[in-house]
Amino acid sequence: MACQQPAQDTRPRSAPTASATKKLEPGKIDPGQVDADASSAQAPARPWNAAQATPSNAGTYLIRVTPAPASVPQGKVFALEVWVFDAKNPEQPAADVRLSVDADMPEHGHGLPRKPSVEQRGPGHFVASGLRLHMPGLWEIYFDIARGALTERAQISFKLE
Ligand SMILES: [Cu+2]
């Protein structure tokens, strides 16, 4: 009985055949693979889809921000990606706006240790970098959207643990 076991183990197994079959499949579309590619290599049609949406204070604009500011780590430098839309056209970023970003701790009467810099990446698309929330407590992040001579603010308030 015992001597038959090794003989069984040396039989050709189906594993090499299975992996060879798998190697023939790259041309085939694997749904999981397509999802991974869409989020990294190819630009999705609406990259702001997962971003946090906030209207500006007078309702002219809608901003979408990622990551959600409430999820940022305390004391670490981070960047926010921001898309600005006209509220009446929330599917197409506004091409003629400028953005500045700042933050305050309203309960403490102070702001950021260092002002973030904002870079435009495309129409209505900005990245604010160099942000650092240096202490826990209530924070407000301000997004000042300018068009011509008019500026309107959108803000996100959250408690940082
Ligand atoms: Cu403070």
Q: How far apart are the CA of 115 and the centre of ligand 1, in A?
A: 15
Residue 45 covered by a domain: no
Written as tens digits, the pLDDT of the chain (161 aa) is 444 444 455 555 544 444 444 444 444 444 444 444 444 455 557 899 989 999 999 999 999 999 998 999 999 999 999 999 999 999 999 999 999 999 999 999 999 999 999 999 999 999 999 999 999 999 999 999 999 999 999 999 999 98
**Which residues form the domain of 143?**
52-160
Residue 129 covered by a domain: yes
Q: What integer pLDDT is reported at residue 31 of this predicted model?
A: 46
Residue 79 covered by a domain: yes
Q: How far apart are the CA of 149 and the centre of ligand 1, in A?
A: 32
Q: What integer pLDDT is reported at residue 45 of this predicted model?
A: 75
Residue 90 covered by a domain: yes
Q: What integer pLDDT is reported at residue 108 of this predicted model?
A: 97
What pTM value is reported for the model? Answer: 0.72
Q: What integer pLDDT is reported at residue 141 of this predicted model?
A: 97
Residue 19 covered by a domain: no
Residue 1 covered by a domain: no
Q: How far apart are the CA of 9 and the centre of ligand 1, in A?
A: 68
Residue 65 covered by a domain: yes
Domain of residue 65, CATH code:
2.60.40.10
Residue 86 covered by a domain: yes
Structure tokens at 70: 């409430």
**Number of domains the chain contains:** 1
